[in-house]
Structure 1
Amino acid sequence: MKLRVKGIEDNQPIPEKFAFGVYSEEDHMNFGPNRNPELEWSGEPEGTRSFVVMMFDPDVPSEADDVNQEGKTVSKDLPRVDFFHWLLVDVPADVHQIPEGADSDGVIPKGKPTGAGPVGIRGVNNYTQFLAGNPDMAGTYAGHDGPCPPWNDEIIHRYHYEVHALDVDTLGLSGEFDGNDVRAAMEGHVLASARVTGTYTLNPDLRRD
């Protein structure tokens, strides 16, 4: 099974047009265009009945005390956890593409609704938790929202874009389900998977201009 993420080469930097946050010399970070990239996949095995689309960052700090704090850095030695950026389930088996900007085009304060996405059903990404304490931004963030790693992190973050071919028509998920719910529901139903990994950082010491 093969996956193509248009504009993103494997293990290369993600263009800013796909990011939730972009580098700012004055303010560290400004909101970005936050467009989802175009995904196109093929070569799924016989018996595929639906797809799951998933994007996650495995490099998010497990502790947020020093995140985006002046005069501090997020240590490269800090344990890391997964942060889900994009979840679409029950994507029909005859769908093999999601156009650029179809599931996200700009930062939407308080998030996008759950339910039907451009294809399939949207799950809730982890900006829901990350922005919960910000009264201007708090809400339920469903579907795609792009990279915005801490600007003071010592490591460059990786972002895994994945498509999974499943042997079921539906995972039976609804409402505010998250990435862990999707992984649990997929268990035992994955026929094949494909992945493209991009990288991103807002740390000026790590950026490649």
Structure 2
Amino acid sequence: MTSLDRPVKPDPYDLLPPLPSFTVTSDDVTEGQRLNVAQAHDGGNTSPQLSWSGAPDGTKSYTITCFDPDAPTPSGFWHWVLVDVPPDVTSLPAGIGAADAELPGRAFHVRNDYGTKDFGGAAPPPGDQVHRYYFVVHAVAEESLGVDDSVSPAVVSFNLVFKSLARGVLKGTYQH
């Protein structure tokens, strides 16, 4: 059997150019605490409720992502990518990450690393280290990020480096 022992990866956002931050809160995710089973892939597989405040003036849209840097891959694992959320939206209800959910305005999902265009819950391998799940709201300086739903999460992330004004981060954890 292969051992999954390995160093803990750094905070992925510490590796990007710094940006101002703003506040992200949730009824379902508590900073630094274990995610509810509802947010687990083998549980409810439900995107959490998220709210945010303090985004900078000039924000013209938002992109919401969930990323696990602790997956046993060189590139981590993208669980959720929601693009082009209108600037007047400052809260998303639990479950809006479902493939059949009615999204606000022109918002759309990009496929996650499960290969689906929705929220895919936490699923660290049994016995692996604690995984961190970064729920990030990116304040974007343009009405559209300029991508479509056929791109990868890496392409979305690349565009966010150049088009984000600020980001708010809320981090949960999960371990089987």
Normalised by the length of structure 1, the TM-score is 0.69
Could you say which residue in structure 1 is the equivalent of 2:25?
Answer: 4
Deviations 1:84-120 (A, max 9, x none): 001011111001111011223xxxxxxx48xx96231
Deviations 1:111-133 (A, max 9, x none): x48xx9623111110012xxxxx
Could you say which residue in structure 2 is the equivalent of 1:144?
Answer: 119
Secondary structure at the counterpart of residue 159 of structure 2? helix
The 3 A distance-change label for structure 1 pair 193 and 61 is same
Deviations 1:122-154 (A, max 9, x none): 1110012xxxxxxxxxxxx0121110111132x
- The answer to whether residue 136 in structure 2 is matched with residue 125 in structure 1 is no
2:53 to 28, 42, 50: 42
CA contact (8 A) 1:103 1:117 kept: no
Q: Kindly provide the amino acid, as one letter, of the partner of residue 5 in structure 1.
A: S
The percentage of aligned residue pairs carrying the same residue is 33
Q: Kindly provide the amino acid, as one letter, of the partner of residue 127 in structure 2.
A: N
- Provide structure 2 residue ranges, at least 5 long, that are not aligned to the other structure: 1-21
CA contact (8 A) 1:59 1:81 kept: no
* Alpha-carbon distance in 1 for matches of 2:133, 2:123: 11
Shift of 1:8: 1.5
Shift of 1:34: 0.9
* Alpha-carbon distance in 2 for matches of 1:58, 1:125: 14
List structure 1 segments (4+ residues) > 3 angstroms apart after TM superposition: none
1:51 to 41, 48, 62: 62
* Alpha-carbon distance in 1 for matches of 2:109, 2:23: 22
Aligned residues: CA RMSD:
1.6
1:75-94 to structure 2, matched below 5 A, reads 80-94=74-88
The 3 A distance-change label for structure 1 pair 99 and 165 is same
Q: How many pairs align?
A: 153
* Alpha-carbon distance in 1 for matches of 2:58, 2:29: 29
* Alpha-carbon distance in 1 for matches of 2:152, 2:175: 24
- The answer to whether residue 159 in structure 2 is matched with residue 179 in structure 1 is no
CA contact (8 A) 2:145 2:163 kept: no
- The answer to whether residue 166 in structure 2 is matched with residue 189 in structure 1 is no
Secondary structure at the counterpart of residue 187 of structure 1? helix
Q: Kindly provide the amino acid, as one letter, of the partner of residue 122 in structure 1.
A: H
Could you say which residue in structure 2 is the equivalent of 1:164?
Answer: 138
* Alpha-carbon distance in 1 for matches of 2:48, 2:168: 16
CA contact (8 A) 1:117 1:143 kept: no
* Alpha-carbon distance in 1 for matches of 2:25, 2:102: 20
Bigger radius of gyration, 1 or 2?
1
